[in-house]
């Protein structure tokens, strides 16, 4: 592997089509497509300022690197990314990519992150300002994850999340095969039109949660006082809820068990067939 150390580059495509290269203490200044169409790239203690940094690349590792805000849209159309202990300020990262692994990294400006990606594994990661993160992405695994930004995980498929705090209106809209463990989910209209949604020991806040879901499992979940009008028109529900629920409205089928009180149960002429959901309190 070729070593490039203590160097500075700028302009357009300074390391275009580089292969089997290790970068140490390298700075890439403003410019475009600096490492485009490359493979087997390792970078440590590097600074990246130019946009379109790693497009059409196969296999790159970044450790303890700084990716400036000006390096927007830097990881697109690539396969095989591993990022650890990085400081990242750039928006619009990770588009149409496969096999992304991120550890111990914060993204304070996660605008339009992780669109149309497949195979995402993240641990000890926080993403802020991240409207529409994970849109149309699949095979996602997150642990110890924090998110602030609306419309997360829209149209996502095959998602497993553990130990997370997700603040997101419209999270998991029309998503499929989602399991969330031991997490806090805050925001209105959670998982509307979702399919096969399973929440285990989670705490949920926000209005009109879990409506129009086809295949919903709740295991020992709790709801905040603002969580009203939940479960409307959802089908095949299997829910055990701890504590009180402010209001449940017109679930379609399945069963709901609440071990506290239901403030208001609304079953009216608008309930959809088969109108067979059973609701009980302990």
CA R_g for the chain: 22
What per-residue confidence (pLDDT) applies to 199? 98
Q: Is the dihedral of CA 104, 107, 108, 113 positive or negative?
A: negative
Please state the separation of Cα 161 from the chain's center in Å.
9
Residues of the chain with pLDDT under 50: none
What's 95's DSSP letter? B
Cβ partners under 8 Å of residue 269, min gap 6: none
Nearest to 157 by CA among 124, 184, 117: 117
- Residue 80 contacts residue 58 (beta carbons within 8 Å): yes
- Residue 26 contacts residue 49 (beta carbons within 8 Å): no
Cα separation, 123 vs 129, whole angstroms: 19
What per-residue confidence (pLDDT) applies to 282? 79
| Partners of residue 158 on adjacent β-strands | none
What per-residue confidence (pLDDT) applies to 200? 98
The residue assigned the tokens 């690539």 is 78
What per-residue confidence (pLDDT) applies to 109? 94
Q: Is the dihedral of CA 142, 121, 54, 76 positive or negative?
A: negative
């Amino acid at each position: 592997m070729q070593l490039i150390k203590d160097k500075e580059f700028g302009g357009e495509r300074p390391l275009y089509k580089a292969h089997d290269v290790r970068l140490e203490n390298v700075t890439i200044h403003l410019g475009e497509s600096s490492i485009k169409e490359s493979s087997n790239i390792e970078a440590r203690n590097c600074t990246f300022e130019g946009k379109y940094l790693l497009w059409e690349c196969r296999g790159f590792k970044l450790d303890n690197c700084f990716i400036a805000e000006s390096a927007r849209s830097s990881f697109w159309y690539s396969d095989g990314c591993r990022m650890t202990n990085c400081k990242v300020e750039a928006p619009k990262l990770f588009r149409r990519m496969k096999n992304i692994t991120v550890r111990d990294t914060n993204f304070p400006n996660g605008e339009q992150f992780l669109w149309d990606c497949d195979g995402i594994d993240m641990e000890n990661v926080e993403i802020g300002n991240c409207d529409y993160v994970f849109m149309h992405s699949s095979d996602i695994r997150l642990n110890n994850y924090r998110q602030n930004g609306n419309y997360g995980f829209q149209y996502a498929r095959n998602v497993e999340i553990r130990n997370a705090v997700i603040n997101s209106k419209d999270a998991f809209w029309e998503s499929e095969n989602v399991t969330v463990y031991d997490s806090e989910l805050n925001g209105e209209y959670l998982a509307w039109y979702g399919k096969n949604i399973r929440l285990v020991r989670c705490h949920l806040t926000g209005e009109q949660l879990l409506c129009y879901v086809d295949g919903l499992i709740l295991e020992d979940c709790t709801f905040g006082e603002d969580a009203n009008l939940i479960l409307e028109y959802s089908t095949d529900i299997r829910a055990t809820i701890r504590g009180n629920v402010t209001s449940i409205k017109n679930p379609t089928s399945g069963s709901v068990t609440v071990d506290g009180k239901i403030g208001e149960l609304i079953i009216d002429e608008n309930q959809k067939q088969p109108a067979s959901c059973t609701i009980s309190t302990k």
